[in-house]
Chains A and B, each alone.
Chain A
Amino acid sequence: MAARTFTINDQLVSGREGETILEAARENGIYIPTLCHLDGVTSVGACRMCLVEIEGSRTLRPACVTQVVEGMVVHTDTERLRNYRRIIIELLFAERNHICAVCVANGHCELQNLAIAIGMDHVRFDYAFPVCEVDISHGRFGIDHNRCVLCTRCVRVCDEVEGVHTWDIAGRGADARVITDMRQPWGESTSCTSCGKCLLACPTGAIFRRGATVSEMERDPTKIAFIVAARDQRW
C-alpha cells in the first residue's frame, strides 16, 4: 500500500493510501475527538465531533470517513472547531436527561470525558427534559433512553459483529429512538443472543448491566476491535 505524506496541525505526517485522517492522526499521536466512531465497525460520520478543516475545502470534513490525500493540509484544533465541538456536546446534554451524579456510567462515560476535555463547564442552552423510557425487560441488560446519544454504535456492532441486527433506529429527528427487534421490549426480543456486545460498544450509560449502580459501568470498547481482528485473521 502506497504511503501518503501530508500535514496535520503544521506537523508533517505519513499515512497509508485508503486510510482515514482519523487513523493517520492517531498513528501519529494526534488526538481528534470522536463519539460515533468505534474501532471494528463501519464509520457513519454522524456525530460530527471529528470534523476537521482541510485547506482548500469549502466544508468541514469528518476525519473518521475522509481518506488521506497526498499533500493535504489538515487542522484539527482551531478556534472554530473547538467552539463547534463544545456546542455539539452542549446540544447533547440539553437534548436528553444526563444527570451524571446518579448515572451508572459516571466516571466511565465517553460523553462526560468529551465534555471535560472540551472544557464545558455549563450548558448555554435550555434543557429539553424529554420524557424517556427505561427498558429493563432483558434479564441481564437494560437500556435507558435518557442517556442515549443516538450514536448507533450498538446498532452497528450487533449487526456487523454479532450478525444479529437486534437494534435499529425508529422515528425521526428528536423523536428517534434505538429499538430492539420491531420495537418490542428488549426482553421479548427473539433475535438477541445476550452476547453483550452492544453493552461494550455503548459510549454512555444508556446500555447498562442490570444490577450496576452509580459509576459501576466500566467497560472496554476496544474489545470490539479485538474480536473483529480475531475473526478476520481466522481462515
Chain B
Amino acid sequence: MDLSELIEIAEHERASRRSIRIRCCTALGCQSAGALSLKQRLEEAATEVERQDIEVIGVGCMGLCGNGPLVMVDPDGVLYEHVRAADAPSIVAALDGGEATAPLGDPQHPFFTGQKRIVLEHSGIIDPERIESYIAAGGYQALYHVLHEMTPADVIDVITRSGLRGRGGAGYPTGLKWATVAKSHGNRKFVVCNADEGDPGAFMDRSIIESDPHKVLEGMAIAAYAVGADQGYVYVRAEYPLAIQRLQKAIAQARRLGVLGAQIFDAGFTFRVDIRVGAGAFVCGEETALMASIEGRRGQPRPRPPYPAESGLWGQPTLINNVETYANIAPIIRHGAEWFASIGTETSKGTKVFALTGKIRHTGLIEVPMGATLRQIVEEMGGGVPDGHVKAVQTGGPSGGCIPATLLDTPVDYESVQRVGSIMGSGGMVVMDDATHMVDVAHFYMEFCKDESCGKCIPCRAGTAQMLHMLDVIRAGQATPADLEQLEQLCLMVKETSLCGLGQSAPNPVLSTLKYFRAEYEALLNHNADRATTEP
C-alpha cells in the first residue's frame, strides 16, 4: 500500500457514488428504534422505483438520537425524524415530488448549527462498515504523512502544541503523556485505547466507535509511531456489541489493506491492534485496573506511581488514552497544531463531545467548541426542559457534580467546570428539572459508586456503603443536623484517602448538591430527634 493506491481507492469510492444518497443512521440508538428494518425497506423502495441515481447507505450517529431513527437525504439535506419502516416508500417517492409520511426535521436547528465537528466530522456521513468510505473522506492520509514525513518527535511536538488534553475525564495534556512514554525504556511498548465508558448516561465513546471506527484506529497508529509501540489494545465493554463488531470489522479491513499490521505504508513501522472485551465494571475504566484486566487479572487499581507511561502492561511503558482523544489525532495532523489550538479557550483546546440526556427536549450527541456555555448547550441546542425549568445540570457522572441553573453561563472548559464544583468528565451531561429532588440525585450516584467500588481500599469500600446508608437515613427523615455534619466529614475523608479516582470522586455528587441545594437536605432533617450513635 502506498499513497497513490490510497488516493485511488478514495477516487474510485467517490466516483461510484450516486447523486442521491439516502443516509440512514444505523448506530445503536436508532437501531434500537428499528433502523435496520427501515434501512432494508428504504433499499427495497429504491430498487422498486428503478432509479439508478439513488443509493441507500447505513451511516453512524447523526446526533439527535432521541428523535431516531433518523434519515437524511443528500444532496438536498432533507432530514426525517422518527422514521418508521412503513415510511420508506414515501421517502423515496418524495424524491419525485410526493409527500413523505415521516416528520421533517430541521437541519438548521441550533442543535446542529451550534456544533463544531472534529471528532464527529464523519459521524452520520460515512459508512462505518466500509474502510473505503473512510478513505474517501481522507482517511489514513494523516498516518501516511506521519510515517513518511515526520519523526516521532515531530508528531509529539505537534500534539503538544495543539494543546490537546485527555478526554477520558482528567484532562491530562496528551502531548506530555506521549513524550513520557516515548522517553521511557522498555523491551516493548503498548498503546491502549480506553473504551470502557462506564458512566451512567454516557455514550460518546460508543457512538464514536460505532460511527467512525477507523478514525480511532488511525489515531492509535499515529500514537504508536510517536511513542515507539508495536501493539495496541482497545478495551471495550461487552455491553457494546455493535461497537465491538464494527471495530472487529474495521481492524480486519485495515489489515487487509495493509494500513495496520506489518510494514505499514512500506515505512518499516509495524502496529497490530487487538480488542479486549471488559465485563462492564466501572472501575475497569481506571487505567491501572484496566491494564490488570487486559493482563487477565482481577480488575483492581493499584497505587500510582509507577504510572502506566513508565510501567504499564506487563511492566512495559504503556500509553493509555481515551477514544475521543485518539479521534482528535488525525484531524490535528491533517490541519495542524495551530488550527486546533485556535479552537476553544486558553487552557482547553478543541471541542468536546457530550451526551445530552435527562429532562431535555433534544437528547443526543453533540460536539461543541470548548468554552461554549452550559446555557448554549442546554437551552439553545438542547431546547431546554419540555415543561418546566432547568434546575441543575450534572456533568462528569458519578465523579462529577450538579451545577445549578444560576450558573448556566459557566463556560464548559476543564477549569471553569471544576471551579463550580463539578468536573468536565468524559462527557455525560444530564439535565434536571424542578421536579428533581437533589438528595435523590446524590443517592442515585452514591448507590452507583457503592455498587461499583472494587472493595480494595477501606475508605471507598466501607465509606460509600456508609454514605449511602446515611443518605437513606436522611431520606427517611430520621437524621439530625449532626448526622449531616458527619456525612460531610466522611465525604471529605473518602475523597482524600481513597486509592483511586473512583473513591476520590465518589463524594462529589453529595458535596456539590450540599453546596448548592443544602436546603433540600436540611428540610429532611429531624431537628427533634436525638439519634444515639452506636456504642461498641
Any A CB within 8 A of the CB of B458: yes
**Contact between chains at B497 and A48 (CB < 8 Å):** yes
Any B CB within 8 A of the CB of A23: no
Contacts of A30-65 to chain B: CB distance below 8 A: 44-48, 51, 59-60, 62, 65
Any A CB within 8 A of the CB of B371: no
**Contact between chains at B469 and A92 (CB < 8 Å):** no
Q: Which residues of B contact A176 (CB under 8 A)?
A: 454-455, 461
Chain A, residue nearest B497 (CB): A48
**Contact between chains at A48 and B534 (CB < 8 Å):** no
Partner of A128, one of B464, B465, B473, B535: B465
Q: Which residues of B contact A125 (CB under 8 A)?
A: 466, 533-534
Any A CB within 8 A of the CB of B436: no
Any B CB within 8 A of the CB of A29: no
**Contact between chains at B281 and A172 (CB < 8 Å):** yes
**Contact between chains at A48 and B458 (CB < 8 Å):** yes
Any B CB within 8 A of the CB of A173: yes
Q: Which residues of B contact A84 (CB under 8 A)?
A: 493, 496-497
Q: Which residues of A contact B160 (CB under 8 A)?
A: none
**Contact between chains at B499 and A45 (CB < 8 Å):** yes
Contacts of B447-490 to chain A: CB distance below 8 A: 450-459, 461-466, 469, 473, 486, 489-490
B interface SS class:
helix
A80 to chain B, nearest CB (A): 8
Any A CB within 8 A of the CB of B268: no
**Contact between chains at A122 and B465 (CB < 8 Å):** no
Contacts of A183-218 to chain B: CB distance below 8 A: none
Q: Which residues of A contact B98 (CB under 8 A)?
A: none
Partner of B534, one of A44, A95, A123, A172: A123
A73 to B536, CA, bound (A): 37
**Contact between chains at B498 and A171 (CB < 8 Å):** no
**Contact between chains at A174 and B461 (CB < 8 Å):** yes
Any A CB within 8 A of the CB of B296: no
**Contact between chains at A128 and B469 (CB < 8 Å):** yes
Any B CB within 8 A of the CB of A91: yes
Partner of A51, one of B453, B469, B497: B497
**Contact between chains at A91 and B469 (CB < 8 Å):** no
A interface residue count range (under 10 / 10 to 19 / 20 to 34 / 35 or more)? 35 or more
Partner of A60, one of B281, B298, B465, B496: B496
Any A CB within 8 A of the CB of B515: no
Any B CB within 8 A of the CB of A6: no
B373 to chain A, nearest CB (A): 29
**Contact between chains at B458 and A88 (CB < 8 Å):** yes
Q: Provided the pairs A48-B457, A92-B458, A150-B461 are in contact, do residues A65 and B303 lie with their beta carbons within 8 angstroms?
A: yes
**Contact between chains at B490 and A87 (CB < 8 Å):** yes
Q: Which residues of B contact A77 (CB under 8 A)?
A: none
Q: Which residues of B contact A162 (CB under 8 A)?
A: none
Q: Provided the pairs A172-B281, A173-B450 are in contact, do residues A47 and B490 lie with their beta carbons within 8 angstroms?
A: no
Q: Which of B451, B462, B464, B469 has the most CB of A within 10 A?
A: B462
Partner of B457, one of A46, A65, A123, A172: A46
A45 to B497, CA, bound (A): 11
Of all A-B residue pairs in the complex, the 4 with the closest CB atoms, nearest first, are: A176-B455, A91-B462, A173-B453, A45-B303
22 A-B contacts, Cβ less than 8 Å apart? Answer: A46-B457, A47-B457, A48-B457, A48-B499, A62-B303, A87-B490, A91-B462, A92-B458, A95-B461, A123-B534, A125-B534, A126-B469, A126-B473, A127-B534, A172-B452, A173-B451, A173-B452, A173-B455, A173-B465, A174-B461, A175-B455, A176-B455
Interface residues in chain B, defined as those with a beta carbon under 8 Å from any beta carbon in chain A: 281, 283, 298, 302-303, 450-459, 461-466, 469, 473, 486, 489-490, 493, 496-499, 533-536
Q: A46-B458, A123-B534, A168-B298 are in contact. List 9 more A-B contacts (CB 8 A).
A: A48-B458, A84-B493, A91-B463, A94-B462, A123-B535, A125-B466, A150-B458, A172-B451, A175-B455
Interface residues in chain A, defined as those with a beta carbon under 8 Å from any beta carbon in chain B: 44-48, 51, 59-60, 62, 65, 83-84, 87-88, 91-95, 121-128, 149-150, 168-169, 171-176
